[in-house]
Amino acid sequence: MNVILIVCDTWRRDLMGCYGNDWIRTPNIDRIARMGAVFENCYCGSFPTLPNRRDIITGRYEFPWRGWGPLEENDVTLSSLITKSGRVSYFITDVYHHWRRGGNYRRDFSGFELIRGQERDNWITDVDIEIDYPAPEYEKTERIKPHLRNVKFLRKDEKDWFAPQVFSRAIRWIQHDASHKNFFLMIDSFDPHEPWDPPRYYTNLYDDPNYDGYEYVAPSYRPIEGYLSETEFKHVQAMYAGEITVVDGWIGFFLEQVEAIDLMDKTMIIITTDHGTYNGDHGQVGKLQTHMYQGISHIPMIVWHPNLANGERFNQLVQPIDIFPTVLEAVGLKIPEGIHGKSLIPVLEGKDEKLRDAAIFGRFNYSYNVTDGEYVLYHWLPYTPPADGMNKTALFHLPSDPKEENNIAESDNQTLLRMRRLLKRKLEDIHAPRELLNRLDLNN
């Protein structure tokens, strides 16, 4: 069995047709979802980008112990187990964070490719390149200047955008390397993460083609009111939607090639993301470091297996840590002890497995959250007034309040206590540091 893992950064589940969206074009994701299995209740674990990748690659939560950082020397990685078994593993990505701050996430793969130029990648230094600033705020910050310089140098037609480059490399790899038996290919696309600057004809699918205002391709993470006009925000949404349609299209080209060389009947394909982003919900844009509401934490997970669960939808609580044991079981390798993830193979086989009674997720030193699928508790480290902002305990009943507009933390003390105890138990189950429970005031 071959395995292809596709991770697309910052893709809200409600912006896929297979999860109910009716205005963004995602025909290729929707097609593989119809063919395979859709998990309705997948929640992110460690937030954001690199903590999520460590969850995936090690099968263990990162956020209770540490934040953004490289793999540790003693981490047992998915790629190492696959490579040591004699299989070929390959890693294709444009996520430059894998190389930042000692990043070593390519470690243990048989081979890898990095597409340069995304986001803050200091790649092109040509001083003769005149940067085109899409909005005035970008002239005042270095945050996006590397990206703007890189793309001015790089882009001539659609194939020069980042997602097309990533999936073109993946197409080339399977054309030349698919003869390897039982390969593992990990494709990690930074799109549709911002900057949201797809070819203009994609944005025009979702907004007035005559729009001539500022383009906030990487909007600041903040409340929309007082920042963006209604017209400007509509255009931001259109650029994000256009970016999604670009990614979907190139996933489609890649899957067409997988089918063309007769790999579908011998390959498991997993498609997921690390987290979503605020897209107007709660009056916000971007992934602010406030509560990890559903738009951030409730993510897509789609699995194609040639022999299992074709056209099925599942309600079990699943998480990115489950990818590690799922891949190992699919290729017939032993799952090591000490991981936090649970294999999805029994679920795909139709066994009525309850993988977990609750999912925990969060960001180190910020928030620690839990959901049982019905209620969700957002719990923060205590702040000293007046520096509390939005960082207050929040409790929502998801079936009756899917938009999370009615915080019942103060009115339903019984459920609040139960969810706090659940969060404590789930952290204790993975042997989280005791001092963390004290800091979260969960020992009282």
pLDDT by residue (tens digit) across 75-99? 999 999 999 999 999 999 999 999 8
Looking at 304, 332, 356, which one is the last position of a domain? 356
Domain match, 187 and 270 both: yes
User: Do residues 387 and 327 share a domain?
Assistant: no
Q: CATH number for the domain including 144? A: 3.40.720.10
Say how many domains are in the chain.
Answer: 2
Residue 282 is assigned to a structural domain of this protein? yes
Q: 228, 185, 224: which is closest to 4 by C-alpha?
A: 185
Predicted confidence (pLDDT) at residue 387 exceeds the cutoff of 60: no
Choose the final residue of a domain: 356, 385, 414: 356
pLDDT of residue 385: 60
Residue 82 lies in a domain: yes
Angle among Cα 170, 175, 178 to the nearest 5 degrees reads 90
pLDDT bracket for residue 168 (50, 70, 90): very high
Asked if residue 180 and residue 48 are part of one domain, the reply reads yes
Closest listed residue to residue 169, CA positions, set 180, 159, 181: 159
Domain region containing 406:
366-439
Phi, psi of 185 (to 5 degrees): -115, 120
Whether residues 302 and 388 share a domain: the answer is: no
**Domain check: are 147 and 292 in the same one?**
yes
Residue 383 scores a pLDDT above 80: no
Examine the domain organization and report whether 274 and 401 are in the same domain: no
CA angle, residues 406, 427, 351, in degrees to nearest 5 = 85
The domain boundary, picked from 290, 321, 356, lies at 356
Q: Which whole number is the average pLDDT over 259-282?
A: 96
Structural tokens at position 38? 């859709």
What is the percentage of the chain residues whose pLDDT exceeds 70? 97
pLDDT digits (tens, 9 = 90+) for 12-66: 999 999 999 999 999 999 999 999 999 999 999 999 999 999 999 999 999 999 9
Q: State whether 151 and 60 are in the same domain.
A: yes
Residue 10: pLDDT band by 50, 70, 90 thresholds? very high
Mean pLDDT, the chain, integer: 94
- Tell whether 343 and 379 lie within a shared domain: no
Residue 361 lies in a domain: no
Position 416 confidence tier, pLDDT thresholds 50, 70, 90: very high
Q: Do the domain assignments include residue 176?
A: yes
Q: Calculate the dihedral angle through the C-alpha atoms of 144, 150, 151, 155, rounding to the nearest 10 degrees.
A: 180
Mean pLDDT on 269-273: 99
Are 65 and 201 members of one domain? yes
Domain membership of residue 120 (yes or no) is: yes
CB environment 58-87: b (16+ within 10 A), e (fewer): bbbbbbbeeebebbeeebbbbbbbbbeeeb
Answer yes or no: do 281 and 132 share one domain.
yes
Confidence class for position 108, pLDDT limits 50, 70, 90: very high
Task: Say yes or no to pLDDT of 406 above 60.
Answer: yes
Note whether residue 156 is domain-resident.
yes
Q: Given this model, what pLDDT does residue 111 score?
A: 96
346 and 379 belong to one structural domain: no
pLDDT at 290 (0 to 100): 66
Residue 204's pLDDT band, with cuts at 50, 70 and 90, is very high
Global pTM? 0.96
**Does residue 444 sit within a domain?**
no
Q: Give the residue-averaged pLDDT of 319-342.
A: 98
Lowest mean pLDDT among 92-101, 209-218, 375-384: 375-384
394-414 mean pLDDT: 97
CATH, residue 382:
3.30.1120.10
The residue count for the chain: 444
Assigned domain for 32 exists: yes
Quote the pLDDT of residue 289.
66
pLDDT of residue 103: 79
Q: Which of 134-148, 248-262, 368-382, 430-444 has the highest mean pLDDT?
A: 248-262
* Triad 235, 154, 132: Cα angle to 5°: 50
What are phi and psi for residue 160, nearest 5 degrees? -90, -10
Are 347 and 372 found together in one domain? no
The Cα–Cα gap between 52 and 428 comes to 21
The pLDDT, as a whole number, for residue 4 is: 98
